[in-house]
Chains A and B, each alone.
Chain A
Amino acid sequence: MAAPEPEAPTTAPTRAKDHSPWNWLLFIPIVVPLIPAFFNGDSPRVFGFPRFYWLQLAFILLGVGTTTLVYQMTKKRGGR
């Protein structure tokens, strides 16, 4: 609250709870797995898996990592 508004709405602190900038990180695991240029190829292979398969399976870890980070950062009393 930089600007000293005389009539600041009293609900503002509650609203901020879900408006944490950390939430924007969640768009990474939504957007990245939907860009075929990243994964639609054969090489390099890992344990015999073409890139198409191992990279998409690896995106699962990207999703887990991001949701865990955002959860930790936005937990009650945690990220503020």
Chain B
Amino acid sequence: MAEQDWKTSKRTFAAVSLPTLFWVVVFFLVPMAIVWLYSFGENRGLTDIEFSGTLNNYKRATEWLYISIFGKSFAVAALVTLICLIIGFPVAMAITFASEKWRPWLLLGIMLPFWTNLLIRTYALMMLLGTQGFANKGMGALWEGTSWIKTLVGLQPLPTWEPVQLLFNNFAVVFGLVYVHLPFMVLPLYAALDRLDRSLIEASLDLGAGHFRTIMRIVVPLAAPGIIAGVMITLIPALGAYLTPDLMGGTDSQMIANVIERQFKKANDWPFGAALSFLLIYAMFALIAIQSMRKKVPEVR
């Protein structure tokens, strides 16, 4: 394989990697660098930004208003991740232990939503949750049915059905984010569980453990790398979620990405928006750093 070593054939390697390198530098690193520079700049007039090297933008970001929104974004993202884990783990287990014939279809079912645009999925969810949506209509029908049965047996009917406000609040944001991010959690969990040697589970059962204990003491610890991967891959995009809180949230549901968006658009304060963006990126770096520092679970061949 010597001829495939990049050290001995630098030209081939360069030729192959150049397009990717070009792409990453021109469309990722350079714009990021510009935004990073903006974060140390000041507005001069409507469109001019002066790179003055000020730290005022970062100082302003430490104001309670923004700290609280950061905190809330973390809380929402953490809650979404936790719910995804609680729902996703049994789903991933079910797919892992499904028969050979069913598994590809179940995985397809998990991945199918990806084939639809996020915006369309979000609007679909809004139709479902609206006051005139299917969820409310369904509950209303049940309510009226119950009321009708009560009159049949001679009881007082229930009061008139008042549609529940399911949309434009924090519940809707969490619900929407869980819906969007669940596949991100299920797929790494499935990958980890699928690799697990089945005889370890059987050995645990054989030694007298019940199913619950086997899951908690054997499956979960051994699927830890998958769980951590799933948590990271869910937490990070949930932290930067913009569309879902924007469309489904109420006035108090804005997350940090919505604030950033406002700085770049309505507020026309690019330097401050850039500073907030980079604070979010640093927070994600910190999460990834914590993850990579954890003790590795030894794996037996």
A binds B: no
The interface of chain A, by Cβ under 8 A from chain B, is none
The interface of chain B, by Cβ under 8 A from chain A, is none
